[in-house]
């Protein structure tokens, strides 16, 4: 009634206010709708993000570094705090691997959409002939598991090594053996942490990550329910990607699961992932 009256009287200010209100209400409804979809067991938990390169050599290591930056920026834009638990720099560029803890309500619920192989096509900055290269890197997201969830870890199943933490270029972060590497012998899972100067703190964080990885491993053995939390892990190469990022000969990012795509590659690489995350969540069957 008010809208019709405003149209009839040509009240542009009122029309603008109504349109703004409708837009705001639509956004609030969208947020509520997404939150209702985040009802899996650990969706409200913090998230542990593992990133590592696949096929593609130096280009893949550089691509893994770009993915790390992209996800850190998404977290920052959504007011999630992040902690780089472990990082191994690439020989020439990028990273050989990184583990990040993203802290905040529903961090895992949202970021689980990023689990899978990510494919990059571009003119390689590492090729003297400026040829087009295809690179792959994997993002693996698990929920942080607190002490209330029973995960049995026997001390005799662990091998704990300490070593000197080192930064880029081989410069030592400190001169003590503060970095910690924990190997869970029965499963072969290896966790490293060198972010903190205290060996005790690094060990504490590494055990936290190990709990998360072991929970996932045991759950996968027990039943197929893990598929609801974690997409199937595949080889990090052709045909296995969940999303493709093309920088040459055209610019496009396309999610293979939802068929959503955009030509604004720069925005995506700067953390604008909501379109793809929300599309993934909307694919989830209702309970």
Say how many Å lie between the first and final Cα of the chain, rounded: 38
**Adjacent-strand bridge partners of 53:** 137
Q: CA distances (Å), 283 to each of 54, 83, 209, 259, in order? A: 27, 30, 29, 11
Q: What pLDDT is attached to residue 226?
A: 41
| Stretch among 19-23, 60-64, 282-286 having the lowest mean pLDDT | 19-23
Higher-pLDDT residue of 165, 33: 165
211 vs 149: which has the higher pLDDT: 211
pLDDT tops 70 at residue 23: no
* pLDDT at residue number 172: 44
pLDDT band (50, 70, 90) for residue 95: very high
| pLDDT tens, position by position, 101-153 | 999 999 999 999 999 999 999 999 988 888 899 999 999 999 998 766 778 88
Per residue in 30-87, pLDDT (tens digit) is 555 566 678 888 999 999 999 999 977 899 999 999 999 999 999 999 999 999 999 9
**Residue ranges in 194-284 assigned as alpha helix (H):** 199-222, 265-269, 274-282
Q: State how far the Cα of 176 lies from the Cα of 161, in Å rounded to an integer.
A: 13
pLDDT in the model for residue 287: 52
Query: Is the model's pLDDT at 272 over the cut of 70?
Result: yes
**pLDDT at residue 174 in the model:** 52
Q: Give the separation between CA 196 and CA 132, rounded to whole angstroms.
A: 39
How confident is the model at residue 61, as a pLDDT? 96
**Which runs of consecutive H residues, i.e. helices, occur in the chain?**
2-9, 12-37, 57-77, 107-111, 199-222, 265-269, 274-282
Average pLDDT along the chain: 82
pLDDT top residue among 71 and 5: 71
Mean pLDDT of 196-222: 84
């Amino acid at each position: 009634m008010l809208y019709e009256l405003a149209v009839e009287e040509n009240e542009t200010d009122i029309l603008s206010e109504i349109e703004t209100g409708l837009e705001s209400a639509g956004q609030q409804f969208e947020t509520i709708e997404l939150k209702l979809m985040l009802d899996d067991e650990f969706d409200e938990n913090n998230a542990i993000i593992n990133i590592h390169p696949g096929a593609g050599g130096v280009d893949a290591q550089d691509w893994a570094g770009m993915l790390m930056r992209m996800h850190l920026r998404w977290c920052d834009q959504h007011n999630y705090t992040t902690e780089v638990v472990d990082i191994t720099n690439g020989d020439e560029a990028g990273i050989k691997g990184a583990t990040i803890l993203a802290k905040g309500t529903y961090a895992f619920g949202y970021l689980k959409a990023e689990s899978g192989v990510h494919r990059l096509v571009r003119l390689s900055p590492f090729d003297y002939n400026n040829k087009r290269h295809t690179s792959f890197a994997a993002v693996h997201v698990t929920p942080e598991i607190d002490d209330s969830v029973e995960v049995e870890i026997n001390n005799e199943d662990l091998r704990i090594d300490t070593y000197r933490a080192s930064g880029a270029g081989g410069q030592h972060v400190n001169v003590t053996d503060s970095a910690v590497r924990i190997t869970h012998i029965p499963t072969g899972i290896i966790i490293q942490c060198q972010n903190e100067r205290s060996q005790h703190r690094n060990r504490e964080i590494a055990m936290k990550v190990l709990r998360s990885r072991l929970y996932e491993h045991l759950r996968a053995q027990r039943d197929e329910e893990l598929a609801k939390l974690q997409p199937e892990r595949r080889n990090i190469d052709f045909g296995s990607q969940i999303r493709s990022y093309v920088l040459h000969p055209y610019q496009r990012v396309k999610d293979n699961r939802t068929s959503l795509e955009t030509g604004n590659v720069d925005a995506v690489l700067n953390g604008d992932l909501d379109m793809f995350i929300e599309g993934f969540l909307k694919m989830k069957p209702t309970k």
